[in-house]
Amino acid sequence: MNQAQVNNSDLLLFDEALPIGDMNSPRGFKSECIPDKKVKVDDLFKFRRGRGDLQISIATALIALFFFFSFWAHTGWGDRKLPDEMGTYIAYQLGLMDIEVRVVRFGRILKQPWVIPMLCLLVLIPTAVWNMQESFKVYQWRKRFMLPTSVQFELSKYVAAFEFVAYFILYTFFVPVLGYLLSTMFLGTYMTWRLGYRNWIWVFRGALSSFAIVIIFRTFLQIKTPGSIWIYDQLPTAFRTFMLTYF
C-alpha cells in the first residue's frame, strides 16, 4: 500500500492513527501532569486562603461570639455589682493597694477565674472579625474571576481528619486489652502503611520506631498505663509483673 492509499484509508479516522509530523524526527511524550516541585520549609508554613475560607471564617466568628456571650454567665459577671469607687477597686484588683491602703504584691487580679477567659476573648474577637473581613475580600476576588468558592473541598479535608482521630480513640481502647507495647507497635506500623510507606523496609522502620517509643516512655520514663491489662493477666505471675512494670 502506497502513501496515497494510506491517506485515503479509514485508519485516519482514529486518533491513534493520525500522523505525528515527520516520521524521522524523534517522538517525544508530553505529560499533562504538573511536575513535582521541591518542598521548601517556608512553603509548609505559608498561609493561603482556600476556596471555602469565607464560610470557615464565618463559623469561627460565630464560635467566638458564642464564647463572648457565654462569658457573662459562666464567670459570674452577669450578677456582679461593681463598687462606686472604681479607681480603688481596680487598684485593689491589680494588687497595687489593699483596702487599708497598704501596698501589696502585684498580680492579685490574676487569681480571679475570669481574667484568663477575658484575655482570650480580647484576642479572639478582634482577630475573628478581621479574619472574616479579609476572607470576604478574597471571596469577592474569586467571584470576580469566576474561581470556585465552594466549601465542599475544605469540609472534605476536615472530615478526612476524623479518620486519624478514630485511630487514636481505638488505640486508647486497645491499650487496656493488649497493653502499651502491642498497641503502640500495631498503631505505629499501621500508620506507616496508611500514610503510603508500604514496602517492607518502611513497615519495619515503623515497627522499630514504635518499639523505641515504648522503651523511652514506658521503660525509662515509667509513664502510667492501666494497672489491669487483659493480655498480661493471662501470663504467669512473675512475667506479668515484669510486663506491667516495663511494657
Query: Percentage of residues in the chain with pLDDT exceeding 90?
Result: 28
Give residue 11's pLDDT.
43
- For residues 70-87, average pLDDT: 72
Among 160, 145, 152, which residue's Cα sits nearest to residue 51?
152
Residue 85 has pLDDT above 90, yes or no: no
- For residues 3-26, average pLDDT: 47
Give residue 94's pLDDT.
67
Q: Are 112 and 93 in contact (CB under 8 A)?
A: yes
Question: pLDDT class for 186, splitting at 50, 70, 90?
Answer: very high
CA angle 126, 132, 118 (to 5 degrees): 25
Q: Which residue has the cell 501596698?
A: 103
pLDDT digits (tens, 9 = 90+) for 20-62: 444 454 454 455 555 656 667 666 677 778 788 888 899 999 9
Give me the chain's average pLDDT, please. Answer: 78
Give residue 165's pLDDT.
93
Distances in Å between the Cα of 20 and the Cα atoms of 12, 13, 17, 26 are 12, 14, 9, 10
pLDDT digits (tens, 9 = 90+) for 106-146: 556 667 777 788 889 999 999 999 999 999 998 898 888 88
Question: What whole-number distance in Å separates Cα of residue 217 and Cα of residue 209?
Answer: 12
- For residues 73-102, average pLDDT: 67
Residue 212 has pLDDT above 70, yes or no: yes
The pTM for the full model equals: 0.53
Q: Which residue has the cell 458564642?
A: 66
Extents of the domains making up the chain: 160-247
Residue 173 has pLDDT above 90, yes or no: yes
